[in-house]
């Protein structure tokens, strides 16, 4: 049964979809070329950058500036994805000023996971098709065997990004296309990704007054940070649709993995999120670690966030079932 809360959420963009019409996805060779280039630049290269940073450990172990730059950039780009790209732009679960929207879209771009409008389109498609045909990164569509499961995991975690059907932004993100400041940030996507490398490199070079500082700031604040954050984001597609707990009936096979929550800004309460996609809170309870939501609450306390949507205890309780029941109800 769909709660009133979720009906309200759905109505946010079903009207938009009705007027936009058109193809659901585009399979254009030019788009696939761009996807492959993006994959090698921002999904494969950070792995080699991280290996380079590890290989240089004996010569130049990271000092306090590099570790601080790595952590700070991880937080900035991680909150950009979690509070910005995901909870604000994709799900409209809270509202803020245009200035804060712009800053969050820039911060999210620094994660190297795509420009804001195409990320939102892909993510809305994931919710629409959740673990069924058309879900670009489901790990559950490769067959029942152990090898199929492994193939599914690799696809969901990494290889789906090489080239995939591209959700039509006219259909999936018409609301964002009307926001000129977001279109403008999206157009400069590669500039923001580059800034995510330049800032930590310059900060470490200035603090250490050396070329070595520039290199290690680039590696630790840029490459290692991007690699670590990407692992967390990709785990939501792979692990959080394969292992973990379920407590609601959802059409997809999403799971909650509580121990992962501090490592990925609370996003690993992924099953909660699929059950209540319009909620700004993914933990759905104060005692569950959910830094993405805490950040939104902090902005709220500063007067920079309002209309923060969270389902009531009664709405959550009304949909809660046991782990086993969540499966048996799904298969009906």
Which residues would be at the binding site for Zn ion (CB under 5 A)? 254
CA 254 → CA 109, 216, 250, 305, distances in Å? 25, 38, 8, 28
* CB-based closest residue to Zn ion: 254
Residue 54 burial (C-beta neighbours within 10 Å; 0-12, 13-18, 19+): exposed
Q: How far is the CB of 199 from Zn ion (least distance, A)?
A: 28
Comparison of 121 and 205: residue with beta carbon closer to Zn ion: 121
Q: How far is the CB of 300 from Zn ion (least distance, A)?
A: 20
As a whole number of angstroms, the distance between CA 327 and CA 247 comes to 9
Give the tokens for residue 118: 């195409």
DSSP codes, 203-236: HHHHHHTSHHHHHHHIIIIIIIHHHHHHHHHHHH
Q: How far is the CB of 200 from Zn ion (least distance, A)?
A: 28
Comparison of 211 and 259: residue with beta carbon closer to Zn ion: 259
Comparison of 37 and 132: residue with beta carbon closer to Zn ion: 132
Comparison of 204 and 242: residue with beta carbon closer to Zn ion: 242
Say if residues 94 and 88 touch (Cβ distance below 8 Å): yes
Q: How far is the CB of 261 from Zn ion (least distance, A)?
A: 15
Comparison of 50 and 101: residue with beta carbon closer to Zn ion: 101
Q: How far is the CB of 75 from Zn ion (least distance, A)?
A: 20
Partner residues linked to 26 by β-bridges: 166
As a whole number of angstroms, the distance between CA 49 and CA 310 comes to 40
């Amino acid at each position: 049964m769909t709660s009133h809360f979720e009906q309200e959420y759905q109505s946010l963009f079903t009207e938009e979809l009705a007027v936009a019409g058109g193809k659901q996805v585009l399979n254009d060779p030019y788009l696939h070329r761009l996807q492959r280039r993006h994959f090698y630049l921002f999904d494969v290269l950070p792995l080699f950058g991280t290996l380079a940073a590890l290989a240089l450990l004996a010569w130049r172990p990271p000092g306090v500036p590099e570790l601080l730059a790595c952590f700070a950039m991880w937080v900035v780009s991680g909150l950009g994805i979690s509070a910005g790209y995901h909870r604000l732009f994709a799900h409209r679960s809270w509202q803020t000023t245009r200035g804060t929207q712009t800053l969050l879209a820039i911060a999210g771009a620094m994660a190297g996971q795509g420009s804001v409008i195409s990320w939102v389109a892909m993510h809305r498609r994931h919710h629409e098709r959740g673990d069924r045909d058309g879900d670009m990164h489901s790990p559950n569509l490769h067959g029942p065997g152990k090898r199929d499961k492994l193939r599914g995991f690799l696809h969901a975690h990494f290889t789906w990004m090489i080239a995939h059907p591209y959700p039509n932004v006219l259909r999936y993100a018409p609301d964002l296309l009307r926001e000129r400041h977001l279109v403008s940030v999206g157009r400069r996507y590669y500039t923001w990704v580059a800034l995510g490398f330049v800032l930590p490199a310059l900060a470490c070079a200035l603090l250490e007054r050396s070329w070595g500082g520039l290199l290690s700031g680039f590696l630790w604040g840029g490459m290692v940070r991007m690699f670590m954050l990407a692992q967390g984001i990709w785990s939501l597609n792979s692990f959080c649709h394969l292992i973990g707990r379920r407590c609601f009936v959802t059409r997809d096979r999403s799971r909650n993995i509580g121990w992962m929550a501090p490592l990925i800004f609370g996003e690993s309460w992924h099953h909660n999120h699929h059950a209540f996609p319009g909620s700004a809170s993914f933990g759905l309870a104060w005692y569950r670690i959910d830094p993405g939501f805490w950040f939104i609450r902090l902005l709220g306390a500063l007067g920079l966030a309002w209309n923060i949507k969270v389902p009531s205890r009664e709405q959550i309780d009304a949909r809660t079932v046991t782990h086993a029941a969540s499966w048996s109800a799904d298969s009906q």
